[in-house]
Structure 1
Amino acid sequence: MEHPVVVGVDGSDESMAAALWAAREALRRGRPLRMVHAWDRYTRWRDTVLAGAAQHHLARRALRRAQERVRAACPGLPLSDEPLAGPAATALLRESGSARPLVLGSHGWSGFAGFLVGSVALKVVAKAEGPVVLVRADADAPDEHVPEADGAAAEHTGYRDVLLALDVADSCDEVVEYAFEAARLRRARLRAVYAWNSSGARGLGPGDVALLDRPAQAEEWLGFLRTALAPWRDKYPDVPVLETVVEDKPGTALPRAAAGASLLVVGHRLPHHTGPVTHATIQHAGCAVAVVPYR
């Protein structure tokens, strides 16, 4: 069975941006789009029937609005929708098992905290069995593409880089494959980034990286990164790859590197809670973020 791209819709501007991003992703992948609206039901027993009917009506209205926008932007895309009774996080987690990927909206930007991700989205990211993509509220199709020579936004130019955040000491096939496939679908360059800290460098192999000076450490880490990606270069010969190592904290380096990307791909080890690096990345990245679970 073909896994659909699934998007959570609640009628907000951020979920509408997520729905349009999900529709473009479904076209790229040649898959159908499934839109769902999930809600929490906290009502007294005597209000259950009335409240349930009202919630169902609001869900249908939100789905209808999103469907109209998606059909106008992506005519001909196979599309289905369904209202789901909550709790919302539980309903979306059920969808994540078959979604490739599950797409959710953020709450935009704050003046000091950056990318705002709601509690439902964070719960889903922490426990989802499949990849989850978080999309900014102000995201638009031109944001994924290289601007014109004069700096003007465009949709017909090539895609910006797909950025892969990789820990060379704990590289994961599921995460790397998702990033390479995303780059292949977009005909974009894959830029793999490893952030290292000289105060916490670890020894890998016969030599001890921590004993080297900083330029030598950087070259050593770059060698490890290239080695980790070598089999994937062979598997995806048409995807151009740029490996980069940065001496900085990952939670700082990755959002900075994502400023010019179309998509940032990070891993999340299950069944653990979302780690500080992934959490900081999804809170502050300037592009859509795909969180890919692995064990």
Structure 2
Amino acid sequence: MSREIVAGVDGSPESLAAADWAAREARRRRLPLRLVHAWRWEPLEIPLEQDRPSQERTADDVLRKAESTIAERHPGLPLTAEVLQDTPVAALLSTEERAEMLVIGSRGYGAVAGFLLGSYGQQIIAGAHRPVVAVRSRDGAGGGDPEGGVVVVGQLGSADDGAPALGFAFETAAARGASVRAVRAWSLPPLYAYSPTSSALARADEAGGLVPYEEQALREALAPWRERFPEVRVTEHVEIGSAGQVLLGSSGDARLLVVGRRARRGVIGSRIGSVAHAALHLAPCPVVVVPHE
């Protein structure tokens, strides 16, 4: 089954910027772009005249305006557009089977305040099994996503844990001629972990200390992706501190920030995770959240 990039549009400047960003990424990856707009007729139980045909026309107008704008800006790009009769979250998640990624708009107040991610955006990110890209109006429209630059990616835990995010970062960097900055944060183990029988500390001792151990862990996680994408220049950054703070501190010049999120559902449902939450609200660039098991 052929893949496509899916962007949700709702008539807002943010969603148009997201569609524009998605169009450029689709061209880089040589994939078609699919625009979707969610609308569902839900008559209210109040004594007012409710015009379903008019609402249908409004929904179609929103979609066609976005389609026309993207087609004009990106001539020749394979493009489809569809109104999905469902709630915004369910509609966008229903496209995952063929989606390479989902792209959504997010309001923001600039590099300091970062994103203001609405409840729909949070639900989509928490429920998605494909990467979700959050784009603000200034990130996408008007050619605000040039080639080159640096893609920053966070690597936490084991090599397997970080593989989906690393893979997305390298694929994206290769497509746009960018470099990758791989960031790994670490912290001192709690006092009770200092034990001769601690396997983690034993491995750290073998590596020559905690810092060399963390650096080695990052190198090992990067090794298969360096081999697969030899044309992508890679820099490594290992720093003590909270993962969110270290990642954001390393992303000031990033064109794209890639973070991972565990896709397992908990007792109260899926969650974004603290690192992804910090990135989505404070990063100075578009953010990709990549789920992993």
Q: Please, what TM-score do these two structures have when normalized by structure 2?
A: 0.86
| Cα 1:197/1:49, change in 2 over 3 Å | farther
| Cα 1:228/1:186, change in 2 over 3 Å | same
Which has the higher mean CA deviation after the structures are superposed, 87-96 or 108-117?
Answer: 108-117
Deviation at 1:166, TM superposition (A): 0.8
Matched-pair contact (CA < 8 Å) for 1:256–1:285: no
Q: How does 1:1-295 map to 2 (within 5 A)?
A: 1-39=1-39, 41-44=41-44, 50-109=50-109, 113-140=113-140, 142-145=143-146, 158-169=147-158, 171-198=161-188, 205=200, 207=202, 209=204, 216-272=209-265, 273-295=271-293
Matched-pair contact (CA < 8 Å) for 2:6–2:101: yes
Whole-angstrom CA distance in 2 between matches of 1:72 and 1:52? 30
| Cα 1:78/1:48, change in 2 over 3 Å | farther
| Cα 1:255/1:97, change in 2 over 3 Å | farther
Matched-pair contact (CA < 8 Å) for 1:168–1:225: no
SS at match of 2:185: strand
Percent identity at matched positions?
Answer: 38
SS at match of 2:232: coil
Aligned partner of 2:154: which letter?
Answer: A
| Cα 1:206/1:196, change in 2 over 3 Å | closer
Whole-angstrom CA distance in 2 between matches of 1:286 and 1:109? 10
SS at match of 1:220: helix
Whole-angstrom CA distance in 2 between matches of 1:56 and 1:47? 20
Deviation at 1:66, TM superposition (A): 1.2
Which has the higher mean CA deviation after the structures are superposed, 235-244 or 36-45?
Answer: 36-45
| Cα 1:36/1:217, change in 2 over 3 Å | same
Matched-pair contact (CA < 8 Å) for 2:21–2:145: no
Which has the higher mean CA deviation after the structures are superposed, 195-204 or 269-278?
Answer: 195-204
Whole-angstrom CA distance in 2 between matches of 1:48 and 1:94? 32
| Cα 1:51/1:251, change in 2 over 3 Å | farther
Deviation at 1:251, TM superposition (A): 1.6
Matched-pair contact (CA < 8 Å) for 1:40–1:88: no
Matched-pair contact (CA < 8 Å) for 2:150–2:181: yes
Aligned partner of 1:66: which letter?
Answer: A
Q: Please, what TM-score do these two structures have when normalized by structure 1?
A: 0.85
Backbone CA RMSD of aligned residues: 2.8
Listed one character per residue, the Cα deviations across residues 98-130 of structure 1 (whole Å, up to 9, x for unaligned) are 211110000122797531111101101001121
Whole-angstrom CA distance in 2 between matches of 1:66 and 1:83? 12
- What is the count of residue pairs matched by the alignment? 281
Listed one character per residue, the Cα deviations across residues 150-200 of structure 1 (whole Å, up to 9, x for unaligned) are xxxxxxxx4111111110436333222111111111111111101122366
Aligned partner of 2:115: which letter?
Answer: F
Listed one character per residue, the Cα deviations across residues 208-243 of structure 1 (whole Å, up to 9, x for unaligned) are 649999xx5333211110011112111111111111
Give unmatched runs, 5+ long, in structure 2: 266-270
Whole-angstrom CA distance in 2 between matches of 1:198 and 1:120? 37
| Cα 1:200/1:235, change in 2 over 3 Å | farther
Deviation at 1:80, TM superposition (A): 0.8
Deviation at 1:283, TM superposition (A): 1.3
Runs of 4+ residues over 4 Å off in structure 1: 45-51, 110-113, 199-206, 208-213
Matched-pair contact (CA < 8 Å) for 2:259–2:288: yes
Aligned partner of 1:161: which letter?
Answer: V
Whole-angstrom CA distance in 2 between matches of 1:136 and 1:265? 15
Which has the higher mean CA deviation after the structures are superposed, 102-111 or 228-237?
Answer: 102-111
